[in-house]
């Protein structure tokens, strides 16, 4: 008889199947095993079907999550957690794991009176943006509609209104969490405050969130879109200088990329190296036009597709990123970006291994920076920039090593200018990089909270901070 090995425990295969059946009957949701018709769909994330988990528990409520956690504890089975399936490190759908799968739990309930929203973790950034906009409200979430709330929020959540309203976690009022002990608790400033601290940036180390309650911002109609400029050193420098000094109503995400064949790009400019500045202005529209003048003055635009729009309209400009793709990523925060780094980035883009690869630059500051670094497990509050080198290719048959080499070469050229990293933009890069995400004091506190809520490190398929008292 074949056997399946789970770390220290070896369970005969027939026993595993029998045991899974007992779990199946305990769930309101469904259990998908390798012989289920849905298995291949379940294991497919935005980066493809990369792993073969033991089974997916498509949970329907918090009680289902308790059943899965208890089952995994009892049988020593590794557990992973999948909300939107966008983990850059492929940590949500893992070989041999029992996956807590939130794809069925994607309810969004907006209360216009209190300007709050209750959101289940399987909802995506786009699932929230639409219903919130119906009431003239918004939350800063992912830059792409498909990014899942479960992973995004537990890591921090840097979105299109971060300079005005902070991170997604800065707008989190409370969360329902299932702990490793199989308890359903509410975490907030007043209930389980340590757990509440840890789930805001701790990346799923402390517990499994089954529902978030957010304060929404009064953001309905915005000035937004894509200001696409030629990618010269002067334009990039001008962009970097302005976007951290601009009024807080302006948040930008700029991609240094080869202009795609999008409707707003003149056909004769497609393929040109450009700085595509995706932006959202949340204030008075006329004041927004004035605030954009310094960016527009940097160069004759390749395309100027800035217009008043409902907030979710900005997702039209990033719809390409929600398509299945392959990626190789290195990222960092930075206080400053030197002329040498800009030159290295431009040279790398000229020799990119894929026409889809890009370097992303985001200006931070504003409300993001006003939160005390100790207030949440996301500590990098005083950094000016977020920089990500993103090698992207469409065909999984392409040579991954070639694209990874491109990312790595540029990373080696600029990483010395980095000051920490965002946990949600880490691949599996080792412990030293996890420590870059969590400065010493944050790391130590996270390890202590982990020891209190997950002493056996059940929740370890994440950017793991092992428990330590
Ligand atoms: C195309 C793309 C665009 C992105 N844009 C942005 C952006 O603009 N801003 C930004 O901040 N990030 C962005 N990200 C990064 C994103 O925040 C992370 O990839 C995040 O983990 C995705 O969450 P998910 O639920 O989709 O992922 P999943 O793969 O489902 O989960 C990732 C990890 O999060 C943890 N997790 C998931 N759900 C829960 C839960 N319910 N409770 C506890 N822990 C949980 C687990 O450790 C899991 O391994 C982007 C990623 C992609 C691929």
What is the Å distance from ligand 1's center to 427 Cα?
12
CB 32 within 8 A of CB 53: no
What pLDDT does 13 receive? 53
What is the Å distance from ligand 1's center to 147 Cα?
6
What is the Å distance from ligand 1's center to 54 Cα?
22
Q: Which residue of 138, 143, 147 sits with most ligand 1 atoms within 8 Å of its CB, as the best mutation to test the pocket?
A: 147
Fold of 108-218+438-453: 3.30.465
Domains 3-101 and 108-218+438-453 share a fold: no
The greatest distance separating any two alpha carbons of the chain, rounded to the nearest whole angstrom, comes to 73
What pLDDT does 14 receive? 54
Asked if residue 248 has pLDDT above 90, the reply is yes
pLDDT tens digits along 94-144: 999 999 999 999 999 999 999 999 999 999 999 999 999 999 999 999 999
What pLDDT does 5 receive? 52
Ligand 1 atom nearest to CA at 157: 11
102 closest CA partner among 118, 89, 83, 85 = 83
Of all residues in the chain, the percent with pLDDT exceeding 90 is: 95
Ligand 1 atom nearest to CA at 141: 9
* CA trace torsion 388, 394, 400, 404 (10° rounding): -20
| Residue length of the chain | 469
- Mean pLDDT taken over the chain: 96
What is the Å distance from ligand 1's center to 19 Cα?
30
Ligand 1 atom nearest to CA at 199: 43
CATH 3.40.462.20 fits 222-425, yes or no: yes
What pLDDT does 19 receive? 87
Asked if residue 11 has pLDDT above 60, the reply is no
pLDDT tens digits along 372-421: 999 999 999 999 999 999 999 999 999 999 999 999 999 999 999 999 99
What is the Å distance from ligand 1's center to 408 Cα?
22
Q: Which residue of 152, 324, 364 sits with most ligand 1 atoms within 8 Å of its CB, as the best mutation to test the pocket?
A: 152
What is the Å distance from ligand 1's center to 423 Cα?
10
The answer for residues whose C-beta is within 8 angstroms of residue 328's C-beta and 6 or more apart is 390, 391, 400, 403, 404, 406, 407, 408, 427
Mean pLDDT, residues 153-173 taken together: 98
Ligand 1 atom nearest to CA at 152: 17
What is the Å distance from ligand 1's center to 272 Cα?
31
Q: Which residue of 43, 51, 81, 90 sits with most ligand 1 atoms within 8 Å of its CB, as the best mutation to test the pocket?
A: 81
Domain definitions of the chain by residue range:
3-101, 108-218+438-453, 222-425
What is the Å distance from ligand 1's center to 313 Cα?
21
Asked if residue 1 has pLDDT above 60, the reply is no
What is the Å distance from ligand 1's center to 148 Cα?
6
Mean pLDDT, residues 212-230 taken together: 98
* Nearest-CA residue for atom 38 of ligand 1: 150
The alpha carbon of residue 261 and the mean position of all alpha carbons in its chain are separated, in whole angstroms, by: 26
What pLDDT does 122 receive? 98
Mean pLDDT, residues 273-299 taken together: 98
pLDDT tens digits along 76-99: 999 999 999 999 999 999 999 999
Asked if residue 458 has pLDDT above 90, the reply is yes
Structure tokens given for 268? 């004769």
pLDDT tens digits along 320-342: 999 999 999 999 999 999 999 99
Residue written as token pair 């299932």: 178
Ligand 1 atom nearest to CA at 150: 38
Question: Residues lining ligand 1, judged by CB closer than 6 Å?
Answer: 46, 81-88, 91-92, 102, 121, 142-144, 147-148, 150-152, 154-159, 203-204, 208-209, 321, 424, 461-462
Rg (CA), the chain: 22
Mean pLDDT, residues 226-243 taken together: 98
Query: If one looks up domain 3-101 in CATH, what number appears?
Result: 3.30.43.10
Asked if residue 48 has pLDDT above 80, the reply is yes
Ligand 1 atom nearest to CA at 92: 49
* Nearest-CA residue for atom 52 of ligand 1: 86
What pLDDT does 2 receive? 45
CB 318 within 8 A of CB 143: yes
Beta strands 116-119 and 208-215, pairing class: antiparallel
* Nearest-CA residue for atom 49 of ligand 1: 92
Q: Is 119 helix (H, G, I), strand (E, B) or coil?
A: strand
Structure tokens given for 174? 């409370």
Asked if residue 306 has pLDDT above 70, the reply is yes
Mean pLDDT, residues 20-31 taken together: 96
d(CA 430, CA 82) in angstroms, rounded, equals 21
What is the Å distance from ligand 1's center to 91 Cα?
10
Asked if residue 302 has pLDDT above 80, the reply is yes
What is the Å distance from ligand 1's center to 28 Cα?
25
């Amino acid at each position: 008889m074949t056997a399946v090995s789970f770390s220290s425990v070896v369970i005969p295969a027939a026993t595993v199947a029998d045991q899974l059946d007992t779990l199946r009957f305990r769930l309101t949701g469904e259990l998908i095993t390798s012989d289920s018709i849905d298995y291949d769909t379940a294991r497919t994330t935005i980066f493809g079907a990369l792993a073969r988990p033991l089974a997916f528990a498509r949970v329907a409520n918090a009680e289902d999550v308790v059943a899965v956690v208890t089952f995994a504890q009892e049988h020593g089975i590794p557990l992973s957690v999948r909300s939107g399936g966008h983990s850059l490190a492929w940590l949500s759908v893992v070989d041999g794991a029992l996956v807590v799968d939130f794809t069925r739990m994607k309810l969004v309930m907006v209360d216009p009176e209190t300007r709050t929203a209750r959101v289940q973790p399987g909802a995506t950034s786009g699932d929230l943006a639409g219903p919130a906009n119906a009431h003239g409200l918004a939350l800063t979430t992912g830059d792409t509609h498909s990014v899942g709330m479960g992973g995004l929020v537990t890591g921090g959540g840097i979105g299109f209104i971060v300079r005005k309203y902070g991170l997604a976690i800065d707008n989190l009022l409370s969360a329902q969490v299932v702990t490793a002990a199989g308890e359903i608790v509410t975490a907030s400033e007043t209930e389980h405050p340590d757990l509440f601290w840890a789930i805001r940036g701790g990346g799923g180390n402390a517990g499994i969130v089954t529902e978030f309650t957010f304060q929404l911002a009064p953001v309905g109609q915005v000035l937004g879109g894509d200001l696409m400029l030629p990618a010269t050193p002067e334009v990039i420098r001008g962009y970097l200088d302005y976007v951290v000094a601009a009024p807080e109503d302006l948040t930008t995400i700029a991609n240094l990329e080869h202009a795609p064949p999008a409707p707003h790009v003149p056909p004769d400019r497609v393929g040109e190296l450009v700085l595509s500045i995706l932006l959202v202005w949340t204030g008075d529209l006329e004041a927004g036009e004035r605030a954009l003048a310094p960016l527009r003055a940097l160069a004759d635009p390749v395309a100027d597709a800035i217009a008043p729009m409902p907030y979710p309209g900005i997702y039209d400009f990033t719809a390409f990123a929600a398509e299945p793709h392959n990626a190789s990523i290195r990222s960092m925060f930075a206080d400053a970006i030197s002329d040498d780094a800009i030159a290295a980035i431009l040279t790398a883009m000229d020799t990119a291994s894929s026409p889809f690869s890009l370097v992303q630059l985001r200006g931070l500051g504003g409300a993001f920076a006003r939160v005390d670094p100790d207030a949440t497990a996301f500590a990098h509050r005083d950094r000016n920039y977020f920089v990500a080198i993103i090698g992207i290719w469409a065909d999984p048959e392409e040579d991954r090593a070639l694209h990874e080499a491109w990312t790595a070469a540029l990373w080696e050229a600029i990483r010395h200018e980095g000051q920490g990293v965002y946990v949600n933009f880490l691949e599996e890069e080792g412990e030293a990089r996890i420590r870059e995400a969590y400065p010493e004091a944050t790391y130590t506190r996270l390890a202590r909270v982990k020891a209190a809520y997950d002493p056996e490190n059940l929740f370890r398929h994440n950017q793991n901070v092992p428990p330590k008292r």
